[in-house]
Structure 1
Amino acid sequence: MKHILFVCTGNTCRSPMAEGLLRKLAKQRGIELEVRSAGVAAVEGMPISRHAESVLKDQDIHDQFYSKPLTGELVNWADLVLTLTQSHKQYAIRQFPDAADKTYTLKEYVENDERVLGDLKEQDSLYVSMELAKSLGNDISEADRERLIELRQRIPSFDISDPFGGSREEYEATAAEIRTAIFRLLDKLASSDQNRA
C-alpha cells in the first residue's frame, strides 16, 4: 500500500482538502492508499478552516482533520511527498534532503510534458547542488545561478492557489484545482500499478 503525504503551510486548508479528496476518490476507484497531511509552519492540533471543512462536507467527506507540523517521521513514513507549492517543496528538500527523490509539487508530479519534466529534473539537481555548496561554505558558480534563473522562467507554475483568509468561493476554486490534479494522480497511480502487474 502506497503512503502519500500532502504538505502545505499551516495544514488547515489545502493539504487537508487534498488528503480528504484523495482518500475518497482513491477508495471509489479501488486504489489502496494511506494518506496524511502536514504543514511546514503548522501548529499541532488546530482544526481545519471552516470553509475547507464545508467544502469537504459538500463532497461527502466528514473526516476530522487536525493540523500537524512536517516532521522527519512523517517524511520517512511517506512513499511520496506532494507539496502544494514550489516553496513548500524547497522547504521540505532543505529540511529532509534524503527525501528529495520522492518530493514533488502535486501539479509537477502529474505533469506529463517531457520537456517540462526534463527542466524540472535539472532545476532540482541544481537546487540540491547549490544547497550543498552553501552548507559546505563553497561559492555557487555564476553559470549555475544563471541556469537556475533561466529554468525558473521557463517552467510553468505548479503552485495550488492559497485560499487562506478568503471567501467560500476561493476555497471551492482551490478544491477544484486540487481535485483536477488528484484525478491525474489517480490515473498515474493506476497505470503504474498495471505496469507492475
Structure 2
Amino acid sequence: MEVISMLHILFVCTGNTCRSPMAEGLMRKLSAERGINLEVRSAGVSAISGTPMSRHAAAILRDEGVNDLITSSQLSGELLNWADLVLTLTQSHKRHVLHYFPKAVSKTFTLKEYVQDEDAVRRDLEELDSLYAGTELAASLGQEPKAADLQRIIEIRQRIPSADIMDPFGGSREDYEYAAAEIRSSLHKLLDKLETLHRL
C-alpha cells in the first residue's frame, strides 16, 4: 500500500490525562499497523503540563502494547498551528477550542462527528456549529441570542447522536475500558476515512 503523506493530528480533552492520551497512543499504534504515516499529539483545555496519565489509562495502553510515556500538555496556539486536524473528545472541548482559537474552525471537529457517515447528521452538526457561533457573537456584542435560534439548537441536539466520548476520570477500570472502546471504534473509522481520502 502507498504510504499516506505525513498528517499532524491533535486530540483534545480536559486534563489530557485520560481520553486524549489514550486516543494519542492508540492512534499511533493503529496507524502504524496500517502503514498510515501520521504524527499524533494530545492536549487538554485545562491541563497541568507534565502530569502523567491516569493509572487506568496507562494500563489500558500497556495492554494494547503501547508503552509511550505521554504526559499532559496545555492546549496552545502553537499546538493548534502544528495540527492539520484537531479532534476533540466532546462538543464542549470543541467549543472551547473555537472560542479561544477561532482561526482553527476549518480543522476542528469532535472525533465522533468527524467519522460520522450519515449526511443528515453531518448537516445537523454543521447547522449546530453555525447556530452556536451566532449565539457566541451575540453574547460578545452584549445582545441576547434570538429565541428562534435557541429553540433550533434544542431541536437539533435532541435528535442527533451524542458526539461526546464519556469522561472516565475518577472512575473504575471498567469506565476507562468503555471510554477506550468508544475511542478505538472511532479511530478505526478515522483511519478508514483517511485511507479513502488518500485514494481520491
Q: Same fold (TM over 0.5)?
A: yes
TM-score between both structures, scaled by the size of structure 1: 0.96
User: Residue 62 of structure 1 aligns to a residue in which SS?
Assistant: coil
Partners of 1:133 and 1:147 in 2: CA distance: 16
Partners of 1:13 and 1:72 in 2: CA distance: 22
**In the alignment, what sits opposite 1:167?**
172
**In the alignment, what sits opposite 1:66?**
71
Aligned pairs (5 A) from 1:1-197: 1-195=6-200
Moved more, 120-129 or 139-148: 139-148
The one-letter code sitting in structure 1 at the alignment partner of 2:196 is: S
CA deviation vs aligned residue, 1:128-157 (integer Å, no higher than 9, x gap): 122122212233211111111111111111
Q: Stretches of 4+ moved more than 3 A in 1? A: none
CA deviation vs aligned residue, 1:68-126 (integer Å, no higher than 9, x gap): 11111111111111011111111111111111121111111100111110000000011
The one-letter code sitting in structure 2 at the alignment partner of 1:125 is: S
Task: Give the number of aligned pairs.
Answer: 195
Moved more, 105-114 or 166-175: 166-175
Moved more, 21-30 or 127-136: 127-136
Partners of 1:149 and 1:9 in 2: CA distance: 24
The one-letter code sitting in structure 2 at the alignment partner of 1:182 is: L
Partners of 1:16 and 1:5 in 2: CA distance: 10
The one-letter code sitting in structure 2 at the alignment partner of 1:103 is: T
TM-score between both structures, scaled by the size of structure 2: 0.95
CA offset at residue 172 of structure 1? Answer: 1.4
The one-letter code sitting in structure 1 at the alignment partner of 2:150 is: R
Identical residues among aligned pairs (%): 62
Partners of 1:140 and 1:177 in 2: CA distance: 34
Q: Any unmatched runs of 5+ in structure 2?
A: 1-5
Moved more, 168-177 or 4-13: 168-177
Partners of 2:163 and 2:16 in 1: CA distance: 18
